[in-house]
Amino acid sequence: MAVFKYDENNRRHRFIRTIVVTVVSLAVFLVLWWVATVLMNDQNFPTPDKVFAALYDLILNGDPIGGHSIWEYIAISLKTFLYGFGLALVVADPLGLLLGYVKPLREFTAPWIEVVRPIAPIAWAPIFVLSFGSRLGPALVVFIGIFFPLLTNIIFGVQRIDKNWLDASKTLGASQGQLFYKVVLPATVPYILNGVKVGLGVGWMCIVAAEIYNKFGGIGQYLVDMVNGGLMANAFAAIIIIAILGLLTTGVAEYVSKLVSRRMGMDA
Amino acid sequence: MSRSKLVVKGEKYDSSDRVRADRTDLLYSHIPEGETLVSIKDLNVTYRTDEKTTVAVDDFSFDIKKGELVSIVGPSGCGKSTILRCISGLLQPTSGEILIGGNKCTTAGSDRGMVFQDFALFPWRSVRKNVEFGLEIAGVPKEERQERSDRYLKAMGLSEFADSRIHELSGGMKQRVGIARAMIMHPAVILMDEPFGALDAQTRNILQESLVNVLKTSSRTIVFVTHSVDEALFLSDRVLVLSKRPATIHTVIDVPGERPRDRASPEFTKLRREILSYLESQNTL
């Protein structure tokens, strides 16, 4: 039998290793899950085989109660998510740059930010859904979740700008406006992307909670319906879908952030 | 002309007197080589903290002639970089003034180019885009930018790295970019703040020679701050030797001989020994 010799410096070997470790880890996780649920023998905690059967059925035949396909739920969740994310980008980027750049403004608004920021975004969910409706409400909860990590990262990024870059630009004739567009803005991009990365994770956590208060609104609502209907296998199937979507969004954000930072020659 | 820009804001200039920000040397073309171009008058820099007041520079005056390379050497912490930063306009002196061709300088501008010890290059820009930064700021059209950057990239031996990223370059290559970025703007005076201080001895020598070569084809006025006596003597027309803080001028040495100089010549060795023994006597450590 040929012995597989692992070589740390070989890219393919490292890749294979990652795959193997991940697969084995997930397999062990499933076994632990199965053992735990069998031992508990509680119908609220279904065994993995039941959950995956429900997931399979959900993908093929859709929601057994509401009659909607699973893709409709996912589409609604993603749409809400993108609205919140887009709004956070549009508001936090200019605001973060401004607050990072103008010290008096930053000092003045710091108490506001510090008071509002520690509030769990989920706490806003019932209020927002009640006041802004089931479409805008959840999107605003996602917005709050993404907004603060993004804002604080951008402010931090502006303050971390190498003073020598500003000095060099001034001796090359840059005006205040040019300093901003040619130095501050590009220098902050890696921090913006890092903020997006952190924000997306938080935002995705918010969406499920926000949708719980909806009549018909996405995968979070489906989860609640299933729990209320006692269909626990379906509820866990929804949780798996939420996990996979969350992994995908943060994975994409992380990849883009790494790629751009490397392209720009600055690993923030 | 859209690329025109008023650079030096002084009484002498009015709105009809517009100057291209990328050729501020033209402002002073009426001053012949060897005449005073930059005057430092009664410069004082005082730092105040709650505990104490530190006088970094005390009544410092000096004239820099057009077309010369003046080095400033002095014991560590004597305030030589502070003087340079005052000339650049990046630091406001407590009192005193900097005059270029008789015009008072108040803020930083493209008429005083600067080369930094830690390069201060923009990592998100390619080598070429770093060199072209000032031209871009001045609104120079793309074709002209390209043509001028080609010339300076070639002069500094960077042609094949034009599209490289800054983090791909060695320290020596980085400072070549820094020098090209300052020179391409044709500032009235170029200020170099220990430009080779972060480089190893061998790279240092090579860059000194590159600088000498570039100056052979293009006359520039340069103020060069260094703590290497050897470097100062190798490069400069005049060496300004400063005392410990607050800096006063100990001697001004006219360095004999045309560049490139022989580092091992008896004259060179004698001057170096003299300066070094003075600097040691001033060392407070």
| pLDDT tens across the length of chain A (268 residues) | 556 777 778 888 888 888 999 999 999 999 999 999 999 888 888 989 899 998 998 888 887 677 778 888 888 888 888 999 999 999 999 999 999 988 899 999 999 999 988 888 888 888 888 888 878 888 898 999 999 999 999 999 999 899 999 999 999 988 888 898 999 999 999 899 889 888 888 888 888 778 877 666 788 888 888 888 888 888 899 899 988 988 888 888 888 888 888 878 776 4
pLDDT of residue B175: 93
pLDDT of residue B260: 77
The residue length of chain B stands at: 285
Of B22, B120, B137, the CB nearest to A164: B120
Domain CATH number, residue A56: 1.10.3720.10
ipTM entry: 0.86
Q: How far apart (Å, rounded) are the C-alpha atoms in residues B61 and B121? A: 32
In a domain, A268, yes or no: no
Chain B residue with CA closest to A163: the answer is B120
pLDDT of residue B285: 55
Q: Are B3 and B138 in contact (CB under 8 A)?
A: yes
Query: A173 — contact with chain B (CB < 8 Å)?
Result: yes
B161-164: list long-range contacts, CB under 8 Å, 24+ apart: B161/B127, B162/B126, B162/B127, B162/B128, B163/B126, B163/B127, B163/B128, B164/B126, B164/B127
Indicate whether A181 and A210 sit together in one domain: yes
Indicate whether A19 and A103 sit together in one domain: no
pLDDT of residue B18: 47
Indicate whether A201 and A113 sit together in one domain: yes
* Chain B residues touching residue A189 (CB < 8 angstroms): 124
Indicate whether A55 and A28 sit together in one domain: no
Phi, psi of B22 (to 5 degrees): -95, 5
A107-113: list long-range contacts, CB under 8 Å, 24+ apart: A113/A148, A113/A151, A113/A152
Dihedral angle sign, alpha carbons of residues B2, B3, B4, B6: positive
pLDDT of residue A2: 59
Q: How far apart (Å, rounded) are the C-alpha atoms in residues B226 and A51? A: 72
Domain span at A101: 47-263
B203: number of CA atoms within 13 Å, CB side? Answer: 13
Q: How far apart (Å, rounded) are the C-alpha atoms in residues B178 and B114? A: 9
Chain A residue with CA closest to B121: the answer is A165
User: Domain total for chain A?
Assistant: 2
pLDDT of residue A267: 63
Residue whose token pair is 């290793």: A17
* Chain B residues touching residue A171 (CB < 8 angstroms): 88-90, 108-110, 112-114, 182, 187, 191
Topology classification of domain B4-125+170-282: Rossmann fold (3.40.50)
Phi, psi of B233 (to 5 degrees): -70, -35
In a domain, A124, yes or no: yes
Indicate whether A249 and A130 sit together in one domain: yes
Indicate whether A136 and A60 sit together in one domain: yes
* Chain B residues touching residue A268 (CB < 8 angstroms): none
Q: Decide if B181 and A183 are in contact by the 8 Å CB cutoff.
A: no
Q: What is the pLDDT along chain B (285 residues), one digit of tens a residue?
A: 333 344 444 334 433 344 678 888 888 888 888 888 899 999 989 888 888 888 888 888 999 999 899 999 988 878 888 999 999 999 989 999 998 888 888 888 888 999 999 999 999 999 999 999 999 988 888 888 899 999 999 989 899 998 999 988 999 999 999 999 999 998 989 999 999 988 898 999 999 999 988 888 888 899 999 988 889 988 888 999 988 888 888 888 888 878 778 888 888 888 888 888 888 887 765
Q: Decide if A173 and B181 are in contact by the 8 Å CB cutoff.
A: no
In a domain, A180, yes or no: yes
pTM greater than the 0.90 cutoff: no
Indicate whether A88 and A216 sit together in one domain: yes
Chain A residue with CA closest to B168: the answer is A265
- In DSSP notation, B210-277 reads HHHHHHHHS---EEEE-S-HHHHHHH-SEEEEE-SSSB-EEEEEE--SPSSP-TTSHHHHHHHHHHHH
